[in-house]
Structure 1
Amino acid sequence: MTTAQERPPAVSPQRRLVAELRTVRRQARQGPSEKATEAQHAKGKLTARERIDLLLDEGSFTEVEPLRRHRAVGFGMETRRPYTDGVVTGWGTVHGRPVFVYAHDFRLFGGALGEAHAAKIHKIMDMAVAAGAPLVSLNDGAGARIQEGVLALAGYGGIFQRNTRASGVIPQISVMLGPCAGGAAYSPALTDFVFMVRETSQMFITGPDVIQSVTGEKVGHNALGGADVHAETSGVCHFAYDDEHACLEEVRYLLSLLPQNNREHPPAAPPDDPADRRCEALLDLVPVDGNRPYDMARVIEEIVDDGEYMEVHERWARNIVCALARLDGRVVGVVANQPQVLAGVLDIEASEKAARFVQMCDAFNIPLVTLLDVPGFLPGVDQEHGGIIRHGAKLLYAYCNATVPRISVVLRKAYGGAYIVMDSQSTGADLTYAWPTNEIAVMGAEGAANVIFRREIAAADDPDAVRARLVKEYKAELMHPYYAAERGLVDDVIDPADTREVLTRSLAMLHTKHADLPERKHGNPPA
């Protein structure tokens, strides 16, 4: 006979329930099966939780609705009701600052979006806006869940609406880590930045099979919508990397350069690089001859803190450079013509690239530094028929609408309408500087002389000699380094080696700048 002392202690109902809860939560964290995880890894892809662990500070993730499951809807779904419903949502920190995240779990329903799946994303998006913190989506899904029909499509509509409402309010970053097809591709397109991983991530509205059936064209998934295509050709992708580890590390770096929301300034960092450091190398980097190319990237490296910057859309529209960097520890957005590519002209793609970047910087209180060396807009029938007028106007609109501190520096050429568009004083730049090599004019001296003195040149016995003399006279009268400064269109002509010091002092003065736009619902920018 067992005595009371020999009996095992009774387990209370509360302890049994807690033990059951632990089992359920463990099932939710583990996902469908080890086989499904191995299949994910075999594709060179991480699981949703592994990705979240790489993105966020260690141990900082708090999950939201881990036990959510879809309602049984038939079509074989009654027996397939896994926890999380194929998406992991929650918040954590990156460099100690709050960040909200959702990650599709491709192991469950191929990451396809259904009613419950969408509801979880809607909730975390609403929480991010309410908390005033960035939102990062880790995308790896097969689109709408067919078994749930129109409920899945309505879920996408709710995501798009929230993307739009959050635009310019909190930073939104989309990280493409798998397929993204059909309407699902529009959510990343509505966000501020898109990251992609080569070979494993693709984005397209209609896939290769549909294209072949409709047009007869044969194309592979990566050739149609892979990372390199969107980074170089379409401009959909801002950053492309070889693997998920490098990609997510760069997402962390980007977040360190962005504010939490539109009511804050980007985080400052204690600078190691002296604010008054002279940039002697600039005296040799930029040739005096306006027809000789040079690498604008080296100019930017020389000016910014420690030579470090993060270029946005590095491989698309390479005739203009858009980058985030620091000057004296404060984040700035740099827009610069690239003379190495198409002589740094503005064309349709460069105008769109720079306009979006300027708008992003203005939305998130990032001062703008513009480095000009622009010979004009790219001439050609294709450009005119492609709408260079309205596309160029996008950049003009973005600058004119920006209320953040704006400083421009003319390094060499600044001709015609392109000079006006690239944040000239007449469009509202707070401060404009120029190097002694500057040439600010309606057009180049030779072109101007051919227009103004065409009859005199045509009537001359030696047209070439007369043209050369008139070009020299035009330069001396209207294109000398101090012409614009004498008329107040440039605030000062500076020693190139002093550029960093001049910029840091100017930005320090403009740090408290406050400017209001006219009261309106919103503007109507060029389409």
Structure 2
Amino acid sequence: MGGTAKLEKRRADGALNARERIDLLLDAGTFREFGTLTAGITEEGERPAPADAFPAGFGEIHGRPVLVGAEDFTVMGGSIGLAAADKRYRLTQLAAQERVPLVFLLEGAGHRMTNALKGHGRTPNDLQGLVDLSGLVPTVCVVLGASAGHGALAAPLMNFAIMQESASLFTAGPPLVEAATGEKIEKHDLGGPNVHVKISGVVHNRAPDEREALAMARDYLRYFPSSAWEAAPRTSAGEDHGERRLDKILELIPPDSFKPYKMRRVLECLVDEGTFFEVQPEFGAAVITALGFLGGESVAIVANDPSAKAGALDTNAANKAARFVEIAGSFHLPVVFLADNPGVQAGSKAEREGALRAAARMFAAQRRLQSPKLHVTVRKAFGFGSSVMAMNPFDAQTLSIAFPGATLGAMPAGSGGKAAHADEAEQAALDAMQSGGPYQVASTLGFDEVIDPRELRNVLLAGLSLARARSEGTHEPVARFGPLP
């Protein structure tokens, strides 16, 4: 640590030190540190850097082993010295070797400038290690202060990134930005949560303070196995594991397909009580990506949100969903898709942003999914918007179901008829086909069944039970390369 004066100042500022953060992240009393002597023996004229500004080791979260490293801002601004670089790579190496999750806690200035003045053997770095871990073990990054340069690059390479409200993340901090470009900007405006959680999507979730951020990291990991060689976790905690009718669902979902509603309220009602965990709630809002437990089984959920852009898939929403599906599939989580969208976002802005490419990526992600896939058409699904939500017939779904009032088609009958210059008789035929909705599709097994919405949870539990032998069997990583940033 950086000495009594610096530690007392942090305490006065209401900030935790690096080891306090590690202790809060891990189960009490489980942390075992390694590398404490690194940078303690120095060259003449050089001051020691305790643990080289990077306490690292292993412990447990929810009784399962994890590896953790934390940048220590009280020692040389948390900068990465040569020994710290070795420790960071050592953590990635151990995570791969022992098949356990890895957590980085970031608050540092990036690579230490004096590194260039020292001879150092040719060695790999932690960024290479993080890429190698992709899809093999869960990785989590928590940004708890200003993080720049090399350290900041860990965030987009890890499965899940969190920022506390006062944190910032950037390639280069304000002084370097001004020197290189002339732009004067405060660190929060340069790379705070309003930039990276809402606009860039580099960071997934924000937390009001560091304690909440660390609690969020713990919570995220409970939905995942320790590695891709294990099955998705099950929980016996709580009482809400069995079948129950969703009597409130008819109040939550308006029958009028043009009327918006909050899909989150439906999902909170659907999953086991208190287990709804949303990933990237502020980015790509037209699609909700969330984790939860259904009948005690960990599942990933991808759902259109009609309260945001009517649920139409824009570039951010599709990219968010694609990466989420890739990560869920890498760790064998069943994925539940709830479709209620008018299609892929149309218009010049969407085309310029690459909505087609993003939608294609989402489609490919769900197509190559090897874990159980369950589809629900809620009210509407048109064009490629249905395909990206795993509705295509015989697309390896364990279960494909629809609600009775759902409307379907290549495009809505009204706009489709207008585009095709349909006459009155042709328009009537298009309207009739659309009004046939799920029943016509189900008549050729495009859906396995049309169900009472109140039975949604019970039907999904039955589908998960059907797929249990596959979910609980022997597992290996699903692809040579896992999810990409």
Q: TM-score, normalised by structure 1?
A: 0.86
1:34 match:
4
Choose the corresponding residue for 2:211, options 245, 263, 270: 245
CA distance change for structure 1 residues 520 and 223 in 2, over 3 Å: closer, same or farther?
Answer: closer
1:317-328 aligned within 5 A: 317-328=284-295
1:83-482 aligned within 5 A: 83-149=50-116, 158-199=125-166, 201-270=167-236, 272-306=239-273, 308-426=275-393, 427-454=395-422, 456=423, 466=424, 471=427, 473-481=429-437, 482=439
Richer in helix (by share):
1
Identity of matched residues, %? 33
Q: Compute the displacement of 1:472 (Å).
A: 5.0
CA distance change for structure 1 residues 521 and 363 in 2, over 3 Å: closer, same or farther?
Answer: closer
Query: Could you say what secondary structure the match of 2:227 adopts?
Result: coil
CA distance in 1, matches of 2:367, 2:123: 34
CA distance in 2, matches of 1:156, 1:139: 22
Q: Compute the displacement of 1:70 (Å).
A: 6.2
1:484 match:
441
Q: Compute the displacement of 1:367 (Å).
A: 0.5
The worse-fitting range, judged by mean Cα deviation, of 339-348 and 37-46 is 37-46
The worse-fitting range, judged by mean Cα deviation, of 393-402 and 332-341 is 393-402
CA distance change for structure 1 residues 46 and 307 in 2, over 3 Å: closer, same or farther?
Answer: closer
CA distance change for structure 1 residues 151 and 511 in 2, over 3 Å: closer, same or farther?
Answer: farther
CA distance in 2, matches of 1:303, 1:278: 9
CA distance in 2, matches of 1:324, 1:223: 30
Q: Compute the displacement of 1:453 (Å).
A: 4.6
How many residues are treated as equivalent by the alignment? 479
Q: What residue identity is the alignment partner of 1:256? A: R
Q: Compute the displacement of 1:522 (Å).
A: 5.5
Q: What residue identity is the alignment partner of 1:477? A: M
Report the RMSD for the aligned CA atoms in angstroms. Answer: 2.5
Counterpart check, 1:506 vs 2:474: no
Q: Compute the displacement of 1:177 (Å).
A: 1.0
Q: Compute the displacement of 1:207 (Å).
A: 2.6
CA distance in 2, matches of 1:178, 1:523: 29
CA distance in 2, matches of 1:521, 1:189: 20
Q: What residue identity is the alignment partner of 2:83? A: A
Unaligned 5+ segments in structure 1 are 1-30, 457-465
CA distance in 1, matches of 2:88, 2:427: 64
Q: What residue identity is the alignment partner of 1:474? A: L
> In 2, are the aligned partners of 1:73 and 1:147 still within 8 Å (CA)?
no
CA distance in 1, matches of 2:281, 2:123: 30
CA distance in 1, matches of 2:121, 2:408: 54
Q: Compute the displacement of 1:476 (Å).
A: 2.2
Unaligned 5+ segments in structure 2 are none
Query: Could you say what secondary structure the match of 1:425 adopts?
Result: coil
CA distance change for structure 1 residues 152 and 282 in 2, over 3 Å: closer, same or farther?
Answer: farther
CA distance in 2, matches of 1:504, 1:264: 21
CA distance in 1, matches of 2:201, 2:76: 30
CA distance change for structure 1 residues 435 and 282 in 2, over 3 Å: closer, same or farther?
Answer: same
CA distance change for structure 1 residues 524 and 331 in 2, over 3 Å: closer, same or farther?
Answer: closer
Q: What residue identity is the alignment partner of 2:187? A: H
Q: What residue identity is the alignment partner of 2:6? A: A
Q: TM-score, normalised by structure 2?
A: 0.93
CA distance in 2, matches of 1:291, 1:182: 46
CA distance change for structure 1 residues 420 and 114 in 2, over 3 Å: closer, same or farther?
Answer: same
> In 1, are the aligned partners of 2:326 and 2:482 still within 8 Å (CA)?
no
1:26 match:
none
> In 1, are the aligned partners of 2:160 and 2:204 still within 8 Å (CA)?
yes
1:459 match:
none
Q: Compute the displacement of 1:273 (Å).
A: 1.5
> In 2, are the aligned partners of 1:70 and 1:116 still within 8 Å (CA)?
no
CA distance in 2, matches of 1:268, 1:153: 46
Q: What residue identity is the alignment partner of 2:448? A: D
CA distance in 1, matches of 2:91, 2:62: 20
Point out which structure has higher relative CO (alpha carbons under 8 A, 6+ apart).
2
CA distance change for structure 1 residues 85 and 40 in 2, over 3 Å: closer, same or farther?
Answer: same
CA distance in 1, matches of 2:33, 2:136: 23
> In 2, are the aligned partners of 1:323 and 1:334 still within 8 Å (CA)?
yes
